[in-house]
Structure 1
Amino acid sequence: MDKSVVISAGKKLDISNSIVHEDFSEYPNLLMLAEGVAVFNDKMELLPLISDFLTHYRQNHSDKSVQTYANNLRYLVEYLTTHDENHIDSSRDNCLLTVHVNEIQRYFSYCKSDKDKNGKIKQAISGKTIANRDATYGKFFNEFLCNPPSGYKLIRSENPYENGKLAVHAKNTLIKPALFSDIEALILVANYEREKCLIQFMYDTGVRRQEVEDVEQGSIAQLSRSSRKSIIEDDGTIKIPSEYHAMEIKGNKGRGREAKYRETVVSKVTINRVQRYHSSIEYKRHKRKWVGSSLPAFLNADGNPYTASAVSKLIKKLSDRALKLGLIKTIISPHKIRHGFGAMLLNSDDFGKSQLDRLLLLQQCLGHGSLETTQVYTKIPVGVWEKFVDRKTGVELKRHELMKKLKDRTKAKKGRSN
């Protein structure tokens, strides 16, 4: 990890080689950093405001997210103390106590430019990256510096983000989900049922690639024995039709030591397909090595679980095959498959009477903290929905009917069950 960002897991932080504030009265929470996050500038001076913020932020977020936020804030401080005449003499991260709206906006303009203040060529920063930094600064000012949580003193009342985002954004890029035909192509070119099952399961549950490894065989088996459950969202109950299961997913978007769980909806057809895969000779042979420990639902040819990297490699391999055969037009990624799940569920009228009902359910299934994040699925082009209509009858297919169609048309050849 970058030496400018130190994340301590409850151990005393050795800062003997850094230049640290001798007067802690200005930052009363600074001593807490021994068991939190410490961020340094290029002079190895501790940045106390940023460090305090990230120590608090880390309580509910992953270390990877902390690292990103730390860098984003460091970039702003570095710019202000080296480029902005109002803050060049500012020490450490004190500039964050007085920076104004127009100064932050000038920083964003600088980021977009391909020239520095001296006219020399530099790398322009993408709009997506700028938007990410803008979101970081908004959270820092809105939820910490100008509206401190319990235990922190208010040290800045004027909020540069009180009226919203400061970066001028381009139009949001539309989500490009994997279509039913894309998923069918990937499964058709897969040689083994274990690969086919995994692709259909990802498409029918919306799991992230890094979550596959934590799906257990016992969970799959238990679903067929359990009674029908409902998804709970915002103190309301969204009923799950009888053709589906509510399945618990062990998420990993929180702090590394604290898994976050959520429920998603999966069709019984897909669960039955995975169960049949579990009955194969190869799967039974591999599971012997897992006696006494949790058995993963998906095992590769060597009997090992599919890691995030292995999932990506598998989908890349299948995409390359499908492209070569002309079955798909672009490479399919794990996240496109997740987007495909979102598009499919939002268009399934058996999950709620209105789009809002389905949107709330989709938020729960994808594990989004904000409904605003989920709402991007409402902007998917209308043409995508044509893939959910039976071409022969013109009748719109339910999601479980699509999964049955997918299973029936992509069965593994005899002898290729592994």
Structure 2
Amino acid sequence: MEVASSESTITVLSTGKQFDLSLRRGVYPIYSVVDSQGAVVESMHRWLRSLRAQIGLTVSEHTVPLYGRILSYLCRWLEHAQLYPSLSIDEQLKILSRWDITKWLNHMKEHGASSHHTLHTREACLKTFLEWLTTKEAGQLRDAENSPYGRDGKLGYITATPNARSPKFVSPEIVVELLNSMYNECERCMFHAQYDMGLRLSDVIRMTVDDIPDDNAYNPALEFIPLCVKRSKGRGGQSPEKITLVSRAVLRRIKRYHGTPEYKLAPDWDIHDPKKPAFLTANRIVWSKRNASKQFNSAVRRSTLSKISTHWMRHGTAYSVLRSDMGKDYQDRMLIVQQMLGHRDLTTTEIYTQIPPSLLQALTKAGSAINRLGEAESIREKTYLGPLQHREMRGHHA
């Protein structure tokens, strides 16, 4: 449950007590969990409130609603399973055992959470919550000696840590087919930019006009221009800046998009507002990550492609650079990929060496290195939609 009201207290239906919802002034929304009767689960609410106060310090802004959803799944299961029918949800959480958690995870697996990664994420959320219940902040509602993960906390997860996923090879031909399955230039331009720059989707939708570099300020001989963006993923909930590269072809496409009446006359911003989002929906509002992913997945369904996610576009960027003529050698290109993808450690980038250089070279049509600027221009020419060619403006509300 997400509470957008500024009321400072509510009544807990299960007990009749007044319950504090207040945070420091101006900090909303407030996240909470309620049972099937509409009663607030107090311990869950307090934990989410604690996490909400740590956003930007040790917690990402996306973590709180995600953990809230996971706790709501646990709440519904506890009500359905009737493990301790005479106890409230809060009382059951105080005595939840490892065997109970195992049964919940099996239930999740049977009802759609088939991904090993998803199950591990849900267990990690519950483990963190149960650990918080042992703290003074929580009132030491649980005894640390009776933790489902051992009295020293070293008993392993029930769901083993998933192995690192192999990167996916996304060719320019796949990108062209995907973009051509999108109805509007605002979508095509944004996802082409993501593929060109290797950004996470959350980074792309946070970009502003002020982030777009002026290509006239750089040597015309440069095919790629540095671009500084704020990352959505950083240590301790921070949003550090990163430098990536944007091709002149994609930069021209963005500038052309910014020159359209649909973009320039968006009602919520002045025409020359530097803080205006670099990409807007067809309805001229801010993209949300959920909505952008939804439009991407709809385009995949309209194409002949099999399952593909927005994150695969970053994989496509990496392999595009590694197959290209950028840098002096393969090691140079690995360093470029590390910089563009924002990897702190080169060992993270080395997952892309699973496809050896010789095979990457063979994957190109000519069997030799590709020119990335030419690739970007080819994608733009094959997928550009003029203002009168847009086919649909539905489904773009955040």
**Short-chain TM bin:** 0.5 to 0.7
- CA deviation after TM superposition for structure 1 residue 220, in Å: 1.6
2:168/2:312 contact within 8 Å kept: yes
Which secondary structure does the structure 2 equivalent of 1:221 belong to?
Answer: coil
The RMSD of aligned alpha carbons is 5.2
Which of 275, 283, 293 aligns to 2:260? It is 283
C-alpha separation in 2, matches of 1:223 and 1:407: 16
| Cα-to-partner distance string for 1:178-202 (whole Å, 9 max, x where unaligned) | 3233124446788998776444312
Match of 2:157 in 1: 165
How far apart, in 2, do the equivalents of 1:283 and 1:96 lie? Answer: 55
The 8 Å contact of residues 185 and 384 in structure 2, kept in 1 or not, is answered as no
Aligned counterparts of 2:82 and 2:247: Cα–Cα separation in 1 = 60
Conservation of the 8 A alpha-carbon contact between 1:345 and 1:362? no
1:93 aligned to 2:90?
A: yes
* More off after superposition, 262-271 vs 306-315: 306-315
| Distance (Å, rounded) in 2 between the aligned partners of 1:415 and 1:108 | 46
Q: Which amino acid aligns with 2:175?
A: I
8 Å CA contact retained: 1:76, 1:107: yes
2:126 maps to 137
- In the alignment, structure 1 residue 52 sits paired with structure 2 residue 41: no
Aligned positions of 1:277-316 closer than 5 A = 277=256, 283=260, 287=264, 290-291=270-271, 293-294=273-274, 296-298=277-279, 304=284, 307=287, 309=291, 313=295, 316=298
TM-score normalized by structure 1?
A: 0.62
Taking structure 2 as the reference length, what is the TM-score of the superposition? 0.65
Once the two structures are superposed, residues 238-293 of structure 1 have per-residue CA deviations (whole angstroms, 9 ceiling, x without a partner) of xxx99451421474999xxx9946425123434543366369xx637963664353
Residue 118 of structure 1 is matched in structure 2 by none
Q: Deviations over 1:322-361 (max 9, x none)?
A: 64xxxxx436554432443355568889599599977865
Q: 1:253 to 1:31 in 2, by over 3 A?
A: farther
Report the 3-state secondary structure (helix = DSSP H, G, I; strand = E; otherwise coil) of the residue aligned with 2:375. helix
The yes-or-no answer on 1:273 pairing with 2:248 is no
Which residue does the alignment assign to 2:22?
Answer: 34
Q: What are the equivalent positions in structure 2 for 1:187-202 lying under 5 Å apart? A: 197-202=189-194
CA distance in 2, matches of 1:415, 1:105: 51
Letter in 1 for 2:260: Y
Cα pair 1:243 1:267 within 8 Å, conserved: yes
Alignment of 1:40-189 (within 5 A): 40-58=34-52, 59-60=54-55, 65-80=63-78, 83=81, 87-113=84-110, 123=111, 125-128=113-116, 129-142=118-131, 144-146=132-134, 148=135, 151-154=137-140, 155-158=142-145, 159-161=147-149, 162=153, 163-167=155-159, 174-176=166-168, 178-186=170-178
SS at match of 2:144: coil
CA distance in 1, matches of 2:313, 2:359: 18
2:10–2:20 contact (8 Å) kept in structure 1: no
Does the alignment pair 1:12 with 2:19? Answer: no
Contact 2:226 2:246 in 1 (8 A): yes
- Contiguous gaps of at least 5 residues in structure 2: 24-29, 389-398
1:226-245 equivalences in 2 (<5 Å): 243-245=224-226
- Name the % identity: 16
What is the number of residues matched between the two proteins?
359
Matches within 5 A, 1:315-334: 316=298, 320=302, 323=304, 329-330=305-306, 333-334=309-310
Structure 1 residue 12: deviation in Å?
Answer: 0.8
Are 2:229 and 1:248 aligned? yes
